[in-house]
Amino acid sequence: MKTIPVSFRRLVAPAAFLLTLGLMGCDKQLDIEPQQSVDAATALSTPEGVQSALTGAYARLDLPQSYGTNLLLLADLLGTDNTTYIGWQGTFISYREVARKQMTDVNTEADRTWNQNFQTINLTNLVLDALPVVTDDDEKSRIEGEARMIRGMVYFELARLYAQPYRTTGAFSNAAVGVPAPSSTPGLPINLSANKTEADAARRIARSSLEETYTQILADLTAAENLLPASNDRTRFDQYDAKAFLARVYLQRGEYAKARDLANEVINDSGASLNASSVSTFTNKNSSEVLFEIQQNDQNNAGNSNDGLATFYSSNAAGFGGRGDVRIFASFANLYGAGDQRGFNPQIGASLIYEGDGRRAGALRSFKWNNAGQNISILRLAEMYLIRAETNQRLGTSVGATPLDDVNLIRSRAQAATLGSVTLADILQERDLEFAFEGFRIHDYKRTGRSIGTGATGIAANAPELVMPIPKYEINLGNALPQNEGY
């Protein structure tokens, strides 16, 4: 149409209008920043940022896949014969498989525990990698010590769950039971690099030997021992926490003298003291007996419906509630003598075992885990006393105190009858009683060569089904090889 040029002026106004809108929508409209996150390039570029990441690593210890639930719960479920200790009544089949030693390589707990704890390890690596931005020397040492403490602890826990026990001495040594030495037993894949790129993260890492794994664990923990201040914030690791944890590691390895001396040092010098009551550790936060607890509160905890120790253990209508998934067999409760605060008391909260009146009412329950928001004790002084007692007994020494005195100290604190004499078996049983449901069971049985259950259904301490499978996920990716025996 020839009218187009004539009407050109009529086009000017709308064209200008459209153009204006067009310019309004220029590229900067495409720059939208996330509101709850910061870019990785800047996150760890300041001392505050590094401290925040370190706090993040502590927070990760509270994950349900870590100390928040599984590092404790799995050790007790693996350590039960389903008739004389605890039983899994819940609907989570993954836990039922653990309790019944029927795990497969796709077991959810085996998968997520491994996965999340390696993420924690990488976060500690990222903290260590970022240390140069911290200028204050004391602060730098402290941060490095805390990060290496966390890394060493996590590797140790994974090694105990995913590898055969480390034992070179005694009746249950590898030589005595005819299994390969730690240097030729698969341990863990060791990642010490601060992975930031896909290329870093995609590296396949074969499992180091158990010997190498423990070497790394000890390197981290002894470094932490040297770097950490003698006193730190109550909720953070200090030097005595490192010593206490090292005592546990040495005990696990059968290095009794080292374990004894460290335990003795912690008892004497850490400033901690036993609580007057066995119950109060589990009803108070950061009580005097506690060396280190995972900090929790009502908002921030490992879970209150599908995860969390209280969630699974508790069945208390008037208290937290809980799922009542883990029951305690009467035969175990009966091991505590009358009046023992760690045993059964009809009044809920008066002792550490009660009859549940919430979900699945009527079964015995542990009062150690009674509230989702409570702290989770990881290291407490009672362990040091019993380490000292056991190692003194084994070595025929009385460093710090006699084994009998140490055992009776723990027993009398619990208002249990004191003993006239102790044997090694008595001390081991005292550990079973004192640390029940706190994640000690399977590790104690493995290191002492005691089988889980007796008779035909008993499972030997070095049986493959007591070792968690390397997740099939890893095997499929050609990582963390070889798989454990039996999977």
Partner 1 sequence: MKNKYLLPLAGSLLVASAAVGQTRAVSGRVTDATGSGLPGVTVLEQGTSNGTSTNADGSFTLNVQPGATLVVSSIGFETQNVAVGDRSSVAVTLKTNATQLGEAIVVGYGTQVKRELTGSVTQLGSKDVENVPVVSFEQAIQGRTPGVQINQGSGKLGAGVQIRVRGASSITASNQPLYVIDGIPVTSQDVGSASGEPLNPLADLNPSDIESITILKDAASSAIYGSRASNGVVLVTTKRGRSGDTRVTVGAYFGRQEATKLRKFLNADQYKELFSESILNSPFLLIDPNDPDADYASVADAFAGEAGLDLNSTENTPWSELAFRKGSVQQYDASVSGGDAKTRFFLSGSYSDQQGIIIGNRYRRGSLRANLDHSLSEKVRIGLNLSLTRSVNDRVADDNAFSNPVQLNALPPIQAANDPTDPTGLNRNTLYYNALLQVDNAENRSGNYRSFGNVSLAYEPIKGLIFRTENGYDFLNLNERIYQGRFTEDGAPTGYGLQNQLQGINYTTNNTVTWLKTLGEEHTLEALGGFSFQRYDQQNNSSEGRGFPNDQFKRIASAARITAASSGGTGYTFLSYLSRVNYTFRNRYLASVSARLDGSSRFSPDNQYGVFPAASVGWIVSEEGFLKDNNVLSFLKFRGSYGLTGNSEIGNFSSRRLYSAIPYADVAGIQPTGLGNPDLTWETTKQADIGVEFGFLNGRIAGEVDVYEKITNDLLLDLQLPYTGGYPIVTRNIGDLRNRGIEFSLNTRNLDGDFKWLTNFNLSINRNKITNLNGQEIIAGGRNLGRVREGEPIGVFWGVEYAGVDPANGDALYYLNTTNPDGSINRGTTNDYSAAAEAKLGDPNPDFTGGLTNTFTFKGFELSILNQFVKGNDIYNIGGVFQSVNGDYFDNQTLDQLERWQNPGDITDVPQARLYEGNGTAPSSRWISDGSFFRFKNVTLGYTLPNNLLKPTGIRSARVYVTAQNLFTITNYDGYDPEVNTTSFGRPSYLLGHDFYTPPLAKTWLIGFNLGF
Q: Under rule CB under 8 A, which residues in 359-418 are in contact with partner 1?
A: 359-362
Query: Interaction with partner 1 in 228-247: which residues (CB under 8 A)?
Result: 235
H or E element that contains 293:
strand 290-294
Nearest to 373 by CA among 430, 321, 329, 413: 321
What DSSP designation does 299 have? S
Indicate which single residue of 73, 77, 98, 126 sits in contact with partner 1 (rule: CB under 8 A). Answer: 126
Spatial distance between the Cα atoms of 132 and 142, rounded to a whole number of angstroms: 13
CB of 102 or CB of 273, closer to partner 1 = 102
Spatial distance between the Cα atoms of 393 and 97, rounded to a whole number of angstroms: 37
Query: Interaction with partner 1 in 252-311: which residues (CB under 8 A)?
Result: 295-300, 304-305
C-alpha neighbours within 13 Å on the C-beta side of residue 150: 34
Query: Interaction with partner 1 in 29-48: which residues (CB under 8 A)?
Result: 29-32, 34-41, 43-44
Nearest to 71 by CA among 142, 161, 168, 145: 161
| Shortest distance in whole angstroms from residue 474 CB to partner 1 | 6
| Shortest distance in whole angstroms from residue 233 CB to partner 1 | 10
Binding residues with partner 1: total (CB under 8 A): 96
CB of 322 or CB of 343, closer to partner 1 = 322
SS3 label, residue 437: coil
SS3 label, residue 175: helix
- Angle subtended at Cα 212 by Cα 292 and Cα 481, rounded to the nearest 5 degrees: 105
CB of 189 or CB of 400, closer to partner 1 = 189
Spatial distance between the Cα atoms of 180 and 178, rounded to a whole number of angstroms: 7
CB of 304 or CB of 448, closer to partner 1 = 304
| Shortest distance in whole angstroms from residue 173 CB to partner 1 | 29
| Shortest distance in whole angstroms from residue 263 CB to partner 1 | 28
Indicate which single residue of 169, 173, 195, 284 sits in contact with partner 1 (rule: CB under 8 A). Answer: 195
Asked if 191 interacts with partner 1 (CB under 8 A), we say yes
Structure tokens given for 217: 């664990």
Asked if 59 interacts with partner 1 (CB under 8 A), we say yes
Indicate which single residue of 133, 176, 202, 424 sits in contact with partner 1 (rule: CB under 8 A). Answer: 202
The residues facing 232 across adjacent strands are none
Structure tokens given for 471: 């997740």
Asked if 456 interacts with partner 1 (CB under 8 A), we say no
SS3 label, residue 3: helix
| Shortest distance in whole angstroms from residue 471 CB to partner 1 | 7
Q: What are the strands, taking DSSP E only, across 295-375? A: 326-328, 353-355, 364-366
Asked if 18 interacts with partner 1 (CB under 8 A), we say yes
Indicate which single residue of 145, 152, 303, 358 sits in contact with partner 1 (rule: CB under 8 A). Answer: 358
Query: Interaction with partner 1 in 427-446: which residues (CB under 8 A)?
Result: none
Structure tokens given for 376: 């989770």
CB of 39 or CB of 138, closer to partner 1 = 39
CB of 108 or CB of 168, closer to partner 1 = 108
Query: Interaction with partner 1 in 95-124: which residues (CB under 8 A)?
Result: 100, 102, 104, 106, 108, 114-115, 118-119, 121-123
Which residue is listed with tokens 């004191």?
Answer: 418
Pair 419, 389: CB distance under 8 Å:
no
Using the rule CB under 8 A, give the single segment among 143-151, 398-406, 425-433, 475-483 that binds partner 1.
475-483
| Shortest distance in whole angstroms from residue 150 CB to partner 1 | 11
Asked if 171 interacts with partner 1 (CB under 8 A), we say no
Nearest to 279 by CA among 438, 413, 432: 413
Asked if 215 interacts with partner 1 (CB under 8 A), we say no
Spatial distance between the Cα atoms of 75 and 98, rounded to a whole number of angstroms: 9
| Shortest distance in whole angstroms from residue 378 CB to partner 1 | 14
Asked if 203 interacts with partner 1 (CB under 8 A), we say yes
Cis peptide before 482 (omega within 30 of 0): yes
Residue type at 6?
A: V
Indicate which single residue of 49, 170, 449, 453 sits in contact with partner 1 (rule: CB under 8 A). Answer: 49
| Shortest distance in whole angstroms from residue 115 CB to partner 1 | 4
- Edge-to-edge strand ranges of the sheet holding 86-88: 86-88, 326-328, 364-366, 353-355
Structure tokens given for 342: 């760690």
Query: Interaction with partner 1 in 319-348: which residues (CB under 8 A)?
Result: 319-321
